[in-house]
Amino acid sequence: MAQDSPPHAPLLVAEHISKRFGVTQALDDVSVSFLPGEVHALMGENGAGKSTLGKVISGLHRQDSGVVTIGGRALSPGSIDEAFGAGIRIVHQELAQCPNLTVAENLCLHDMPRSRLGLVDRRAMRERAEHLLAKLEPEIDVEAPLGSLPPGRRQIVQIASSLEEHPAEGASDGSRGARVIVLDEPTSSLAVAEVDRLLAIVRQLASQGLTLIYVSHRMAEIFQVCDRVTVLRDGKHVATSVVSEIDEPALIEQMIGRRIQQTERRAPPQTEGKKPVLTVSGLTSPGKLDRVSLGVMPGEIVGLGGLVGSGRSEVLDAVFGIDRRASGRIAVGDREIGTGNEREMIRAGVGYVPEDRKLQGLFFDLGVDENLLMPIMPQLATAGVRSLGRERAASSERIREFKVKTATPKSPPGSLSGGNQQKLLIARWMTKDTRVLLLDEPTRGIDVATKSEVYRLVRQAAERGVAVLLVTSEMPELLALSDRILVMCAGRISGELRGDEMTQTNILRLATVDSRVEARAAGHRDPDR
């Protein structure tokens, strides 16, 4: 963090904000002020009220009590138009865009420029888009389909759309454009280089006088980019601190009420004389994977390192059977299973926690109980007929065991916090029959306390003999959890790291070189040669 202290007069003030959803008190008499030109972090555990406060400020939620003022002017509760007109914008964690349209079309969706004949003026649309992106990332081609851009640039496009200038309707100062931007987990799905670029943009916007409200679980980003940090716990305001005057352990203690010990690397399991639980040979998928071979022993946690796009997630998709174009040999124990057959994988005891729990993981039209029991429902049935009594007992036991916080077992997953959704998804696959666990970004978007709990669950599974194949973009997590690391580059395994070799430097070295050359240099045998 290298910036001057911002002015002391608040631009935005949230006073005595309370908000209840059913039986859940999401915010309880919260008061926070935000200064012009500062990056102000909102932190707390999942369900602490961070995102709810951001949505109240931006008018997406109507508070039960309290008032939000900007520039001394009170805003009507729950008025998106009024908040927008006053210069308040929100950039959501889940990208709210149309990937099939061009960048320019996405940036002008709310107000398409028209010619005198009423037709869309594509030249004006292109010029407006280029004007907006010139402030952030002028290299982005505004005529390119948005879906063709990497996630980092798509996030930048979404931020650019929040900078669009509009008359601030009803604003007494006649201001135009954004004055406050709420960023909700803006880097949760980005690669390291993309994160660095986005953080630079955040500081750039703050230097121009904008107020950035930064919701994130990532400690390193808070200390790198934020001026002040407000911690919420159980919907209540705990503290607001100057970032340069607080350290990470103290911040964690404010968030959860206790200190968490750092996760240390465990001793690798004894695998001598044992056979792999998961064996993959020559796994290939056009444009994604090139003859990937690996084995995971019982009780072993094998990390897949590499940059976004290197093929890490694609390996898990292909192993589980989601990638129908994949070919190669996959065996669970002595049982060989053809590619593209997820049902056989589930029967063989393979569980998959995908990166995107909303699109690929959870069934949001079913309850927590049915989401938990999906893989084992046939075992709980009697003569092919569901046994509701056995299902109730099993789901209640697993909710307790995995500490999933839910109002009732029948509650939909959408009513749970992000951390509890993630625990629900992990708990689904951690049954007594699970032999292989595929984990893709298992702690994405969850708080530090829940992350520690997920680490415990993963290690607990490994101690029971489960073979774990782990993908994570968080380097400290990869190093702390993995017994060994296979690094990927351009769809191939470029090297293997064990023990003291497992360092960030070595991972990045292997992730950024030609995989075939490095595979030979690292002594990683290519079984196809």
Confidence of residue 341 (pLDDT cuts 50, 70, 90): confident
Higher pLDDT: 194 or 269? It is 269
Q: Give the pLDDT confidence of 463-521 residue by residue, as tens digits.
A: 999 999 999 988 888 999 999 999 998 899 999 999 989 988 888 888 876 534 444 44
**526 within domain boundaries:** no
The predicted structure's pLDDT at residue 159: 80
Q: Give the pLDDT confidence of 386-405 residue by residue, as tens digits.
A: 888 898 999 998 898 888 88
**1 within domain boundaries:** no
**In sequence order, what are the residues at sequence separation of 6 or more whose Cβ sits closer than 8 angstroms to the Cβ of residue 250?**
none
Confidence of residue 193 (pLDDT cuts 50, 70, 90): low
Same domain assignment for residues 252 and 151? yes
Higher pLDDT: 364 or 176? It is 364
Same domain assignment for residues 325 and 236? no
Same domain assignment for residues 24 and 173? yes
**425 within domain boundaries:** yes
Q: For the chain, what is the mean pLDDT?
A: 84
Q: Judge whether 409 and 395 are in contact, CB under 8 Å.
A: yes
What would you measure as the largest C-alpha separation in the chain, in angstroms? 79
The predicted structure's pLDDT at residue 521: 41
**301 within domain boundaries:** yes
**381 within domain boundaries:** no
Q: Look at 223-237, 308-322, 372-386, 477-491 and tell me which has the smallest mean pLDDT.
A: 372-386
Q: What is the CATH number of the domain that holds 50?
A: 3.40.50.300
Distance in angstroms (rounded) separating the CA atoms of residues 429 and 451: 17
Give the CA radius of gyration of the chain: 25
Same domain assignment for residues 130 and 174? yes
Confidence of residue 192 (pLDDT cuts 50, 70, 90): low
Same domain assignment for residues 442 and 328? yes
Same domain assignment for residues 189 and 155? yes
Amino acid at 491: G
Distance in angstroms (rounded) separating the CA atoms of residues 326 and 337: 13
Determine what percent of the chain is predicted with pLDDT higher than 70. 89
**317 within domain boundaries:** yes
**Number of domains within the chain:** 2
Phi first, then psi: give them for residue 5, nearest 5 degrees: -65, 135
Residue 119 has pLDDT above 90, yes or no: no
Higher pLDDT: 408 or 163? It is 408
The predicted structure's pLDDT at residue 94: 56
**241 within domain boundaries:** yes
Same domain assignment for residues 216 and 348? no
The predicted structure's pLDDT at residue 259: 60
> Domain range for residue 223?
12-256
Same domain assignment for residues 246 and 170? yes
Q: Look at 81-95, 268-282, 318-332, 378-392 and tell me which has the smallest mean pLDDT.
A: 81-95
Confidence of residue 190 (pLDDT cuts 50, 70, 90): low
The predicted structure's pLDDT at residue 96: 59
Q: Give the pLDDT confidence of 419-450 residue by residue, as tens digits.
A: 788 888 888 888 888 999 999 988 876 777 77
Q: Which of 74-78, 268-272, 338-342 has the highest mean pLDDT?
A: 74-78
Average pLDDT score over residue span 69-98: 85
Same domain assignment for residues 103 and 167? yes
Same domain assignment for residues 27 and 73? yes
Look up the pTM and report it: 0.61
Distance in angstroms (rounded) separating the CA atoms of residues 427 and 489: 31
**375 within domain boundaries:** no
Q: Nearest-CA neighbor of 293 among 494, 501, 508?
A: 494
Same domain assignment for residues 21 and 54? yes
Same domain assignment for residues 30 and 157? yes
Confidence of residue 376 (pLDDT cuts 50, 70, 90): confident
Token pair, residue 211, equals 């107020």
